[in-house]
Amino acid sequence: MIPKSKQISLYIYLIFLVLFSCQKKTIITPKPNASQEVSKLVLIADKYKATNKTDSAFFYFNKAKSVADPKADFKKITYSLLKMAEIQQENGDYIGSETTAKEALKYLNNANETDYTWRIYRVLGIDYFCIYNFENSILYYQKAYQLKTDKKRKIAMKNNIALVYREQKKYNKAIQIFETLLNEKEIKNNPLLFSKVLDNLGSCYTLVENPLAVDFLHKGLEIRLKLDSNLGLGMSYMHLSKFHDKSNPELAKKYAQISYEKYTKANCIDDRLNALELIIKNSNDAELKKNSILYIGLVDSIFEARQRAKNEYARIKYDSKKEKNENLKLRVQKAQNELQIERQKNRNIYSYIIIMLSLSLILVLYFYLTSKGNKDKIEATYKSETRISKKLHDELANDIYHTMAFAENRNLSIEENKTQLLNNLDAIYSRTRDISKENSPIITNENYPFYLKEMISRFNTPNIDLILNGVDSVPWNNIQRNKKIAVYRVLQELLVNMKKHSNATLIEISFKVTDKSIIVNYTDNGKGVDVTKMAFKNGLHNVESRILSIKGEIDIDSAPDKGFKVFFKFPYK
């Protein structure tokens, strides 16, 4: 290892070399035609997409979008953003896909491509459907339906709108649309579409306990057996399993197992999980345990793969934006360097001595601060690992031991014991996931508002309405990193506490900026607590500690059956 004193000398020598070399004139190579370069990048991206190399395809589509002239290449930019949104959607990044598709909306009028418009509206409809924002899902499906397109696309949108109504439990509206679609000539002449509508209508009849359901489900299955489509067969057997769920559990289990096999062959991850849930519901004893473990493993692997994809796509976007900004800076720097070269010719030896001394002091200070920073990181890492280890031992190990003892000593064929075991397993999984999320790294760069909103949106479920106001009004780029982390963790802990204990159905989080402070209000309509009880105050110790650590103030207002309110503020300078 090179001693620090020699490192300093070497750095100073290199700096002098750079200073003298700056006197040489820079050779500028002509820039190729931008439009041709964009076309080439799009072609490369399309080839990667065709071979299912989605990471590479996303990279080149994003690069094409960045290189393209936003005042001229409207179609290429729109197409690139559309394909990027589709890739994100295929990999389960629905929030990222929504952001990308919305970026494409501002280019649609200039691009003047109905095909692109229809596909972008369709992407947004699916994104909102998958994050349970059904109102916006129907909005964009209706926009796509109203475009001047062929009959097949209009039928597809009507089918999607009916599926949203089904998820909203507006079964009569969904049934009315499916019954109308069955009379369409384009449906009757297309076995694939005909079987899909028959199956969807049969599933709606099941939900309203219409005895005709089984006839429609079997008709759809017969067609799909001839088509030999694993995806379609998986859906048919899934709906048949749900139809027989109450009347014939054994038959329901049989259909669910066939559905699971078909979805596995079709590589439909989410649908595999749905089929596995039905199998678990009708399993017992050793088979129940085996299927439950398989379910947990599958959920974990899906979460890991999708999170990895989300991070990769976010990184590609961030790196591209950073590179573009750096290129703009380099152009400005080039002009400054040319002027600086002339000035450097007239500097004398005293100027270089002053520079040398200044650089020496800076380097010494740099190595000192670097050493101190590394030491602080090591200490922080040790404390974090110790805390996580204690949490795993205190909270998770005991739960696993008690669950194992419960499974060994109780008769799991009894429904009550079986239900208790599943509840215990679900609690262990939830606690493991919470510990993982609690200790995951937090991005605090210019993308911080996006990740903050994404974390909060994960708690927006069909049973919980979450209102978020004012987050974009906060000047996050001017706020210190430790304060961003504190805000993120405090809101995360409040939302996790809400989900575990409060039974809330409505949550509001608002941000307000004053001359010197950022004010955050959290309110839910949960069952509330008695804040005078010491045990509850200890439960909020982490929240209070984080706010106090950034020189903030916090106030908690709650009472039994009166909801839960938290007010905190902190200086942002």
Closest CA to 551 of 493, 478, 482: 482
Average of pLDDT values for 207-226?
91
Q: Which residues pair with 513 in a beta bridge?
A: 518
Domain covering 180-309: architecture = Alpha Horseshoe (1.25)
For residue 540, the model assigns a pLDDT of: 72
- Of these ranges, 179-183, 305-309, 325-329, 537-541, the one predicted with the greatest mean pLDDT is 179-183
Mean pLDDT of the chain: 82
261 in Cβ contact with 275 (< 8 Å): no
491 in Cβ contact with 570 (< 8 Å): no
For residue 331, the model assigns a pLDDT of: 62
Pick from 110-114, 428-432, 568-572: least confident: 428-432
- With a cut of 80, say whether residue 314 has pLDDT above it: no
For residue 363, the model assigns a pLDDT of: 81
Please write down the HEC assignment for all residues of 289-347.
HHHHHHHHHHHHHHHHHHHHHHHHHHHHHHHHHHHHHHHHHHHHHHHHHHHHHHHHHCC
Closest CA to 493 of 440, 434, 436: 434
The answer to whether domain 31-149 and domain 180-309 are alike in fold is yes
Residue 17 DSSP symbol: H
- The 10s digit of each residue's pLDDT in 485-516 is 999 999 988 888 888 788 899 999 999 999 88
In the chain, the percentage of residues whose pLDDT exceeds 70 is: 83
- With a cut of 70, say whether residue 470 has pLDDT above it: yes
Checking DSSP bridges between strand 465-469 and strand 506-513, what pairing results, if any? parallel
- The 10s digit of each residue's pLDDT in 246-268 is 888 889 888 888 998 888 888 88
Average of pLDDT values for 322-334?
65
For residue 10, the model assigns a pLDDT of: 57
Average of pLDDT values for 208-236?
90
For residue 346, the model assigns a pLDDT of: 77
* Residue that has been written with the tokens 């499916």 in this structure: 178
Confidence of residue 320 (pLDDT cuts 50, 70, 90): low
Q: Which amino acid is at 218?
A: H
Q: Which residues pair with 519 in a beta bridge?
A: 512, 569
In the chain, the percentage of residues whose pLDDT exceeds 90 is: 33
- With a cut of 70, say whether residue 381 has pLDDT above it: no
Checking DSSP bridges between strand 465-469 and strand 564-571, what pairing results, if any? unpaired
Q: What is the length of the chain?
A: 573
Residue partners of 7: CB distance under 8 A and separation at least 6: 363, 367
For residue 25, the model assigns a pLDDT of: 45
DSSP string, 468-502: EESGGGS-GGGS-HHHHHHHHHHHHHHHHHIIIII
- The 10s digit of each residue's pLDDT in 350-373 is 777 888 788 888 888 888 887 776
How many angstroms separate the CA atoms of 348 and 345, rounded? 8
Domain boundaries, the chain: 31-149, 180-309, 450-573
How many angstroms separate the CA atoms of 420 and 400, rounded? 13
Residue 393 DSSP symbol: I
Which position has the higher pLDDT, 281 or 149? 149
- With a cut of 80, say whether residue 438 has pLDDT above it: no
Burial grade of 543 (CB within 10 A; 0-12, 13-18, 19 or more):
buried
Confidence of residue 26 (pLDDT cuts 50, 70, 90): very low
Confidence of residue 141 (pLDDT cuts 50, 70, 90): very high
For residue 30, the model assigns a pLDDT of: 41
Residue partners of 156: CB distance under 8 A and separation at least 6: 122
Average of pLDDT values for 325-341?
68
Residue 210 DSSP symbol: -
For residue 561, the model assigns a pLDDT of: 84
- With a cut of 80, say whether residue 402 has pLDDT above it: no
- The 10s digit of each residue's pLDDT in 541-567 is 788 889 999 999 999 888 888 899 999
446 in Cβ contact with 477 (< 8 Å): yes
Average of pLDDT values for 173-189?
89
- With a cut of 80, say whether residue 197 has pLDDT above it: yes
For residue 487, the model assigns a pLDDT of: 93
Characterise 170 by phi-psi region: left (phi > 0), alpha (psi -120 to 50), beta (else). beta
Average of pLDDT values for 120-140?
93
Residue 26 DSSP symbol: P
Q: Which residues pair with 565 in a beta bridge?
A: 523, 557
- The 10s digit of each residue's pLDDT in 52-105 is 898 899 999 998 988 888 888 888 899 999 999 999 988 888 999 999 999 988
For residue 91, the model assigns a pLDDT of: 87
Q: Which residues pair with 521 in a beta bridge?
A: 510, 567
For residue 475, the model assigns a pLDDT of: 92
How many angstroms separate the CA atoms of 254 and 397, rounded? 36
For residue 27, the model assigns a pLDDT of: 42
CATH number for the segment(s) 31-149: 1.25.40.10
Residue partners of 253: CB distance under 8 A and separation at least 6: 241, 278, 279, 282, 283
- The 10s digit of each residue's pLDDT in 445-464 is 999 999 999 999 888 888 88
How many angstroms separate the CA atoms of 507 and 511, rounded? 14
In the chain the first and final C-alpha atoms are separated, in Å, by 41
For residue 474, the model assigns a pLDDT of: 93
502 in Cβ contact with 564 (< 8 Å): yes
CATH 3.30.565.10 fits 450-573, yes or no: yes
If one counts every other C-beta atom within 10 angstroms of the C-beta of residue 282, the result is: 21
